[in-house]
Chains A and B, each alone.
Chain A
Amino acid sequence: VLARVVGQPLTNFDDTVQLDQGSDAGIAVGMPVVTGAGLVGRVVATTGGRSTVQLITDPTFEFGVRLATSQQVGLGHGTGEGLPLVIDQSIEVSLSDQIPDDEVVTTAGQRSAFPPDIPIGRIIGIENAADQLSLVLTVDPLADLDNLAYVRVLRWTGEGG
């Protein structure tokens, strides 16, 4: 469903945008929202003609990721409006040599809230986690979240979606 962004985050701690399409257009809570560049977020509330989308930069937004080259899967989350995403779970430290510059991460798809292979962002930083067993990856979202005009809501609601 193609939708226009009609409302930006109102406060510094609100990572949502409003869309001009809602349940009347078949949009339901949980559906992924994307642009041509990549993942934007997911629908968290909907009425007849409006939807609220939680952006991937929201610190409470968690998503499964897959690294394009190694196919390693991990778990990431947002850190706030205008800040990069962080992947800080399940990426083994032994993979640090196998992650090229500008590596793209996509949605993992395995029992995830999102279908697989949606681009999320590019890795812009790699460092060891405090336990020295895993990596913490910093990711710049591919979608321009500060200047959203039109987005596409995928009618995907999980298994068989």
Chain B
Amino acid sequence: LTGLKAALVLISALVLQAAVVSKLGLFGGAHGDLLILVPITAALTVGPERGAIAGFAAGLAVDLLVTTPFGLTALAYCLVGYCIGAFQDGVLRATWMLPVASAVIGSVVGTTLWVLAATVVGEEGLLSRDLVGVLVSVAVVAGLLVLPALRVARWVEADMDRPLVGARLRS
């Protein structure tokens, strides 16, 4: 059932990204990235390993729909999921600030990783774009939406086996 819920959430996120978020031009005409909240919220609720798996799945779904080099989004999201989960493991006392800060930092790091990886594999013109506008846009959208997204993530993992170690965010 968890897998079914996760698939439903992933498809819904893709539809929302394509139909709403990608049409809302923010800073410098850039828009937010709803899909990067998948690894971030998964990592915050179920830890680094499952955060990385969720990130890989979400990134792969994005890679299937765009013409940029295949696999880069999966790689970036996977790393974001793992790093946010590992960071969360080291936090002793979780506050509401933690998911917001994780979302802002995770989205900026994930987008920067993607740009660097794409540039390394030969994708041209990325560094000449308004990267500041892109980073600010993804950070703002991630920071604003992470709390409702966390509720969705908790609904997905409600009947999942609990991780054995590590502190996890609870409402």
Contacts and interface: CB of A to CB of B under 8 A. Distances in A.
Contacts of A10: 14, 17-18, 22, 62, 65-66
A44 B67 contact: yes
A45 B68 CA distance: 13
Contacts of B115: 13
Contacts of A11: 22, 33, 62, 66, 68, 73
A160 to B, nearest CB: 28
Interface in A39-93: 44-45, 52, 54, 58-60, 77-83
Name, among A10, A80, A82, the residue most crowded by chain B CB atoms within 10 Å (CB to CB): A10
B128 A82 contact: no
Interface string B25-41: 10011110100000000
Contacts of B114: 13
Interface stretch (B42-50, B96-104, B118-126, B148-156): B118-126
A9 interface: yes
Interface in B43-94: 62, 65-68, 73
Contact of A8 (B22, B111, B130): B22
A60 B129 CA distance: 12
A101 interface: no
A14 interface: yes
B146 interface: no
Interface in B108-143: 111, 114-115, 118, 123-126, 128-130, 134, 137-138
B5 interface: no
Given A78-B125, A80-B128, A12 B138 contact: yes
B162 interface: no
Nearest to A45: B67
A7 interface: yes
Interface in B3-29: 14, 17-18, 22-23, 25, 28-29
Contact of B118 (A13, A44, A79, A146): A13
A8 B21 CA distance: 11
A52 B67 CA distance: 9
Given A8-B22, A80-B125, A54 B67 contact: yes
Given A8-B23, A54-B67, A82-B25, A13 B62 contact: no
Contacts of A45: 67
Contacts of A7: 18
A144 to B, nearest CB: 13
A16 interface: yes
Contact of B25 (A54, A80, A146): A146
Contact of A80 (B73, B118, B129): B129
Nearest to B126: A13
B126 A59 contact: yes
Identify the 9 closest CB pairs spanning chains A and B, nearest first.
A59-B125, A82-B29, A80-B129, A14-B66, A12-B134, A60-B124, A12-B30, A16-B67, A8-B22
